[in-house]
Structure 1
Amino acid sequence: MEKDASAPDPSRQCNGFSGVLYGEFTDTLNDGVRYSVSLTESALTIQRISSSPDRTKVVFNLSDCIGCRAYKGPDSADIGAYFAAYFYPFKRRWMSTGVARQRVEQCFRVALAQDPLVNLREAERWAHAIRDASVLQAPRRDGVMYTELRRPCRTMILVNPHSGRGQALQLFTGHIQAMLTEASVPYTLVITEHQNHARELVRNADLTQWDALVIMSGDGLLFEVINGLMEREDWQQAIQTPLGMLPGGSGNALAASIHHYSQSPPAWNEELLLSCGFMLCKGLVGSLDLVSVHLASSQRLFSFLSLAWGFVADVDIESEKYRHVGAIRFLMGTLVRLASLRVYQGRLAYLPAKEIPKPPNERAKATRPPFTPQQPSLCSSLPCHLVPKASPKQSSLKNCVDTNLNQNSITNSSNVITNMRPETHGNNKTTSPTDSLLPSLCQPVPENWTVVNEEDFVLVLAICHSHLAEDLWTVPGAMADDGLIHLFYVTAGISRPALLRLFLAMERGSHLAYGCPHLVYEKVRALRLEPISQQGMITVDGEVVEYGPIQAQVHPRMARLICG
Structure 2
Amino acid sequence: MDQRRAEPDSGTDGSPVTLYGEFTATGNRKVRCAVSLTERDLIVQRLTSAPVGRSKAVLSLRDCVGCRAYRPHDNEDRAAHLSAYFYPLKRRRMSSGASRQRVEQCFRLAALQDPRANLDEAEKWARAVRERCGRNRLLADGMLTSQFSRPCRMMLLVNPQSGQGQALTLYNNHIQRMLNEAGVPHTLVITGELKAQCSPDRSICIFCVCQVVNGLLERPDWEEAIRTPLGILPGGSGNALAASIHHYSGASPVFSEELLLSCGFLLCKGLVSRMDLVSIHLSSSPRLFSFLSLAWGFVADVDIESEKYRHAGAARFTVGTLVRLASLRIYKGKLSYLPASKAHSSEGGLRNNMTLHCNNQTSSPSPAPLLCCQSGDSPCQNTLHNSCHSNNSLKVRRTESTPSRSATKAVPGPPDSLLVPLDQPLPSDWVVVQEEDFVLVLAMYQSHLAEDLMAAPEATLDDGVIHLFYVRAGISRSALLRLFLAMEKGAHVATNCQHLVHTKVKALRLEPHSPNGIITVDGEVVEYGPLQAEVHRGLGRFITG
| TM range, smaller chain | 0.7 to 0.9
Letter in 2 for 1:111: A
Q: Evaluate the alpha carbon distance shift between residue 350 and residue 143 of structure 1 in structure 2; reply closer, same or farther with a 3 A threshold.
A: farther
* Equivalent-residue separation in structure 2 for 1:83 and 1:520 (angstroms): 57
Instruction: Tell whether 2:202 aligns with 1:208.
Output: yes
Residue number in structure 1 paired with 2:224: 237
* Equivalent-residue separation in structure 2 for 1:452 and 1:534 (angstroms): 19
Letter in 2 for 1:421: T
Q: How many corresponding residue pairs?
A: 483
Letter in 1 for 2:164: R
* Equivalent-residue separation in structure 2 for 1:354 and 1:90 (angstroms): 39
Where do 1:6-25 residues align within 5 Å?
A: 20-25=18-23
Q: Evaluate the alpha carbon distance shift between residue 356 and residue 472 of structure 1 in structure 2; reply closer, same or farther with a 3 A threshold.
A: same
* Equivalent-residue separation in structure 1 for 2:239 and 2:491 (angstroms): 20
For residue 523 of structure 1, report the CA deviation from its aligned partner: 0.2
Letter in 2 for 1:420: R
The answer to whether the 8 Å contact 1:63/1:139 transfers is no
Letter in 2 for 1:35: C
Letter in 2 for 1:206: P
* Equivalent-residue separation in structure 2 for 1:167 and 1:502 (angstroms): 31
For residue 51 of structure 1, report the CA deviation from its aligned partner: 7.8
* Equivalent-residue separation in structure 2 for 1:239 and 1:20 (angstroms): 40
Residue number in structure 2 paired with 1:532: 513
Instruction: Tell whether 2:125 aligns with 1:147.
Output: no
Q: Evaluate the alpha carbon distance shift between residue 436 and residue 309 of structure 1 in structure 2; reply closer, same or farther with a 3 A threshold.
A: same
Instruction: Choose 497-506 or 134-143, whichever is displaced more.
Output: 134-143
Residue number in structure 1 paired with 2:358: none
* Equivalent-residue separation in structure 1 for 2:541 and 2:396 (angstroms): 25
The answer to whether the 8 Å contact 2:138/2:145 transfers is no
The answer to whether the 8 Å contact 2:467/2:502 transfers is yes
Residue number in structure 1 paired with 2:295: 308
Residue number in structure 1 paired with 2:114: 115
For residue 428 of structure 1, report the CA deviation from its aligned partner: 8.5
Residue number in structure 2 paired with 1:125: 124
Q: 1:485 aligns with which of 466, 482, 485?
A: 466
Per-residue deviation, residues 164-212 of structure 1 (Å, max 9, x unmatched): 111111111111000000000000111113xxx97x899x7414141x2
Letter in 2 for 1:345: K
For residue 96 of structure 1, report the CA deviation from its aligned partner: 4.5
Q: Evaluate the alpha carbon distance shift between residue 510 and residue 321 of structure 1 in structure 2; reply closer, same or farther with a 3 A threshold.
A: same
For residue 454 of structure 1, report the CA deviation from its aligned partner: 4.3
* Equivalent-residue separation in structure 2 for 1:71 and 1:533 (angstroms): 67
Q: 1:30 aligns with which of 28, 31, 34?
A: 28
* Equivalent-residue separation in structure 2 for 1:307 and 1:501 (angstroms): 22
Instruction: Tell whether 2:416 aligns with 1:421.
Output: no
Letter in 2 for 1:473: M
Residue number in structure 1 paired with 2:47: 49
For residue 142 of structure 1, report the CA deviation from its aligned partner: 3.3
Per-residue deviation, residues 277-309 of structure 1 (Å, max 9, x unmatched): 001001111110000100001410000000100
* Equivalent-residue separation in structure 2 for 1:44 and 1:509 (angstroms): 37
* Equivalent-residue separation in structure 2 for 1:335 and 1:201 (angstroms): 44
- Identity across matched positions, percent: 60
Letter in 2 for 1:284: L
Q: Evaluate the alpha carbon distance shift between residue 66 and residue 354 of structure 1 in structure 2; reply closer, same or farther with a 3 A threshold.
A: same
Q: Evaluate the alpha carbon distance shift between residue 480 and residue 428 of structure 1 in structure 2; reply closer, same or farther with a 3 A threshold.
A: closer
Per-residue deviation, residues 35-69 of structure 1 (Å, max 9, x unmatched): 110101100001112489x9832110100100001
Where do 1:355-374 residues align within 5 Å?
A: 355=342
* Equivalent-residue separation in structure 2 for 1:190 and 1:304 (angstroms): 23
Where do 1:169-184 residues align within 5 Å?
A: 169-184=168-183
Instruction: Tell whether 2:335 aligns with 1:348.
Output: yes
Residue number in structure 2 paired with 1:432: 413
Q: Evaluate the alpha carbon distance shift between residue 458 and residue 423 of structure 1 in structure 2; reply closer, same or farther with a 3 A threshold.
A: closer
Per-residue deviation, residues 440-486 of structure 1 (Å, max 9, x unmatched): 00001110000013421110000101111100011111100000100
Q: Evaluate the alpha carbon distance shift between residue 320 and residue 398 of structure 1 in structure 2; reply closer, same or farther with a 3 A threshold.
A: closer
The answer to whether the 8 Å contact 1:159/1:168 transfers is yes
The answer to whether the 8 Å contact 2:157/2:384 transfers is no
Where do 1:278-289 residues align within 5 Å?
A: 278-289=265-276
Instruction: Choose 28-37 or 500-509, whichever is displaced more.
Output: 28-37
Residue number in structure 2 paired with 1:556: 537
Letter in 2 for 1:47: Q
Q: Evaluate the alpha carbon distance shift between residue 489 and residue 189 of structure 1 in structure 2; reply closer, same or farther with a 3 A threshold.
A: same
Identify unmatched segments of 5+ residues in structure 2.
Answer: 1-15, 345-379, 386-393
Q: What secondary structure sits across from 1:551 in the alignment? A: strand
Q: What secondary structure sits across from 2:137 in the alignment? A: coil
The answer to whether the 8 Å contact 1:526/1:551 transfers is yes
The answer to whether the 8 Å contact 2:383/2:395 transfers is no
* Equivalent-residue separation in structure 1 for 2:330 and 2:220 (angstroms): 42
Q: State the Cα RMSD in Å.
A: 2.8
* Equivalent-residue separation in structure 1 for 2:162 and 2:182 (angstroms): 26
Residue number in structure 2 paired with 1:87: 86
Residue number in structure 2 paired with 1:413: none
Instruction: Choose 447-456 or 313-322, whichever is displaced more.
Output: 447-456
The answer to whether the 8 Å contact 1:160/1:396 transfers is no
Where do 1:236-385 residues align within 5 Å?
A: 236-355=223-342
TM-score for the superposition, normalised by structure 2? 0.84
Q: 1:520 aligns with which of 501, 511, 517?
A: 501
Residue number in structure 1 paired with 2:444: 463
The answer to whether the 8 Å contact 1:423/1:431 transfers is no
The answer to whether the 8 Å contact 2:507/2:535 transfers is yes
The answer to whether the 8 Å contact 2:401/2:408 transfers is no
The answer to whether the 8 Å contact 2:287/2:401 transfers is no
Q: What secondary structure sits across from 2:337 in the alignment? A: strand
Letter in 1 for 2:484: F
* Equivalent-residue separation in structure 1 for 2:156 and 2:448 (angstroms): 23
Q: Evaluate the alpha carbon distance shift between residue 82 and residue 285 of structure 1 in structure 2; reply closer, same or farther with a 3 A threshold.
A: same
* Equivalent-residue separation in structure 1 for 2:45 and 2:17 (angstroms): 19
Q: What secondary structure sits across from 1:438 in the alignment? A: coil
TM-score for the superposition, normalised by structure 1? 0.81
The answer to whether the 8 Å contact 2:88/2:103 transfers is yes
For residue 31 of structure 1, report the CA deviation from its aligned partner: 2.1
The answer to whether the 8 Å contact 2:399/2:411 transfers is no
Instruction: Choose 347-356 or 66-75, whichever is displaced more.
Output: 347-356
Q: Evaluate the alpha carbon distance shift between residue 300 and residue 207 of structure 1 in structure 2; reply closer, same or farther with a 3 A threshold.
A: farther
For residue 163 of structure 1, report the CA deviation from its aligned partner: 1.1
Q: Evaluate the alpha carbon distance shift between residue 227 and residue 109 of structure 1 in structure 2; reply closer, same or farther with a 3 A threshold.
A: same
Residue number in structure 1 paired with 2:454: 473
For residue 32 of structure 1, report the CA deviation from its aligned partner: 2.4
For residue 92 of structure 1, report the CA deviation from its aligned partner: 2.0
The answer to whether the 8 Å contact 1:284/1:562 transfers is yes
Identify unmatched segments of 5+ residues in structure 1.
Answer: 1-17, 216-221, 358-394, 401-415
